[in-house]
Amino acid sequence: MAVIVLLAVAAVALLVGYPIAEYFVDAKNLRRFPAPSVAGLTDLWALRYHWTNTRYKAIHQAHARLGPIVRIQPHHISFTDPRALRDIYGHGSPIMKSNYYDNVAGEYHDVANATDRADHSRKRRFMSHIFSQKQVLNMEEVINVNLANFVKAMDQRLGQDIDIRYWFNLFTYDAISSLSFGHSFDFLGQGNDQTLAQNPDGSTYPIRVVKTFHDAVTYASFMGHARPGLSRFIRFFFSAIRSSSVKASKDFGAMCLYRATQRIQSGKGDRADFLSKLQEPPKAGIEPMPFGELVAETGILLNAGNDTTASGLTNTLWLLAKHPHTLDKLRAELDTLMDRDMIQPDFNMLMAAPYLRACIDESLRLRPPVAIGLPRVTPPEGSTICGEFIPGGVTVSAPILELHRHPSLFSNPDVYNPERWFDEKELPNLREYVQPFSIGGRACIGRNLAMIELTKVIATVVNRYEVELCNKEEELGMIERFNMNPADCYVRLTPRAR
């Protein structure tokens, strides 16, 4: 008993004493940067806001009070100086992905969480030709089929109060599953997001995908932002108490296992899909992906082609409904291109609708689907960011939401104003600093697919329906898991007057 007590005391002393000693020794000279509350001492300040999905608010308040460079964890410096975007994420930057991505990875890394440059480069060779604009446009008919299914589902619910965010999630899951596996989840036909997951022994069980994914991402983001030792403890503790978050993470992985297994066992279909392309090395001399890696990449296919797009669709439609004059102007533009009954507009045709693109781009600026400062780590020799030398091994980030709303870059930055995209004075900063899909070699691989779906769906919905917000006076909440998801968004759709 005495030994157990001594071990407990030693553990507490280590957990409390080591951060304090590290803080005052300050080997990396990070105390020169201001920190909110106890953020310079412990990860707990940041983890609290990760767990409550309000990190973006805490980061905004910290920078508003303390300035453009803030220490938000003992080894994490956040920058809102616009120069940080290129310094941290730009092409040629020596700054790499941090151990956040190792913390959230499973047995196999996927293209999004691979930290090793060579491994990421190999994976990106597989992925880049899949998500190129040419390849996605070659599969536009698959998107059209799912868009028609979405319209059918909306027509069946005219005049009803519906959570459009949920229905956009069903559409994006159906679209990416069709593109990835050759057949759809058929969530739109079912009217819900229930599908099967697979245990290691081959048995299956039902799950609800949208909530499962969101719970899993909350857990992963919370665990990922802790330092490795604390991250391992969190994983052990949550597993020991049988947390629903751990179950959600396992369930989503089991669903990916089921979908990958079913697709591979069925053999090639009539057309090439994303998973079949991943099974084929992009060129000679590259080894095929093992099955476990294919399962990991299945998860990123479903993520890259789903959650951020559904968020972008919801935010854009909500902002248009909140700004009737903007919506009227957009409809006037679309009326020159689309018949009222057109439900599968050609993307190339919609390229001739610059105001549509401005409405979407402005939504992505004001409410980016990823608002977080994506964590990176300085190389061993250190790096200079915004004129400040940061020693090696320090996590750094530049929160996208703060840059997108930076008052030195944009006029009235908190206002939804698509007209700013036609202002020659604002356009250079918009092109340089509005980066909802990040920049550089680690930018989002699904951005071409996202823009095609955003363009086609928004054009179809505003052309076909009147959109009434059920809660006109309320702001649409934002929930930061890893992605920035809008809260439930209830609307009533009715046929647009001819």
Q: Which residues are annotated as a binding site for heme?
A: 444
Residue 7 CA: distances (Å) to CA of 12, 13, 14, 21, 232:
9, 10, 10, 20, 19
CB 155 within 8 A of CB 149: no
Quote the tokens at residue 59: 């980061």
In whole angstroms, what is the distance from residue 468 CA to residue 207 CA? 32
Q: Distance between CA 85 and CA 249 in Å, rounded?
A: 31
Cβ atoms of 318 and 486 within 8 Å: the answer is: yes
Contact between 405 and 414 under an 8 Å Cβ cutoff? The reply is yes
For β-strands 76-79 and 395-397, DSSP reports them as parallel
Contact status, residue 406 vs residue 80, Cβ threshold 8 Å: yes
Amino acid at 385: I
399: left (phi over 0), alpha (psi -120 to 50) or beta: beta
Residue 16, SS3 per DSSP: helix
Q: Is 72 helix (H, G, I), strand (E, B) or coil?
A: strand
DSSP 8-state class, residue 415: S
Residue 13 and residue 306: Cα distance in Å, rounded?
45
Enumerate the known binding-site residues: 444
Round to whole Å and give the CA distance between 408 and 227. Answer: 34
Report the 3 state secondary structure along 344-366. CCCHHHHCCCHHHHHHHHHHHHH
Sequence-ordered strand ranges (E) for 376-489 = 376-377, 383-385, 388-390, 395-397, 465-469, 478-480, 484-486
